[in-house]
Amino acid sequence: MAITRHPDRAGGTIKGRFDNPVLFATIATLIDAKSKPATSDDQRSTGQRQAEALADVCGYVLDHGDVPRAGGHRPHLNVHIPLAELENRVRTAVLDFGGTIATKDLRLLACNAGVIPIVMNGDSQPLDIGRANRVIPDGMRRAVAARDRGCARCGRPASWCDIHHIVEWQNGGPTEINNLVMLCKMHHREIHATEWIVWIGDGRPEFIPPRWVDPDQIPRRSTMLAV
């Protein structure tokens, strides 16, 4: 198996061959289970669903699994933001494994993460290292999970989900239950990257599709929240 970082652009390539049928079946079974279309509106290709399923499974293991510690801490993603970008309200940032990420992806990562700000100068030297701050307290996450019963869009179990600020935190959105919604990683990406809109209606999350999905833009709820 080979993991290769793209030196000239974001992302990378993962290639693997498994001659052991048990190893292959284990991986294939899990990816197949997690890559089925999430809703009737799921427009992703089979390859895209499978790739995102692999990433979701790895993310789940980082959050919940018995992962070997690295440098005394559980493995985690580090996002590097240059001082000039921070002063300009952050348009791009860089991950440890390379690749510049766009604002929408940075906001997605920050929605449900522990954040340690490290401000760098132009010579890549740290100017300030802040203390970790958990954006969504554990008690608040449990309250949102009790209301939404998993992903409020498709019903995926809460353990596979993130918490999303409906009005973004950096835009003054409060960390309170009426401004939070539980989303699986696929639908979390969808909210950040497409024209889908989420709001709280009658105390429950509702999703307004873009006009190209539904010209009438009729609000939708997860079948878990239909009653």
- Beta strands, E only, 98-179: 100-102, 114-115, 118-120, 126-129, 133-134, 161-165
Q: Cα 46 to chain center, whole Å?
A: 20
Each residue of 179-188: pLDDT tens digit? Answer: 999 999 889 9
Contact 204, 144 (CB under 8 A): no
> What is the largest distance, in Å, between two alpha-carbon atoms of the chain?
57
φ/ψ (deg, to 5) at 39: -145, 175
Each residue of 62-113: pLDDT tens digit? Answer: 777 665 554 444 445 566 666 565 555 555 565 555 556 666 666 666 666 5
Task: Give the residue ranges of DSSP H helices in the chain.
Answer: 21-34, 46-64, 83-87, 103-111, 138-148, 185-193
What pTM, to 2 d.p., does this model score? Answer: 0.61
The Cα-based distances of 154 to 40, 82, 105, 126, 148 in angstroms read: 10, 37, 21, 42, 10
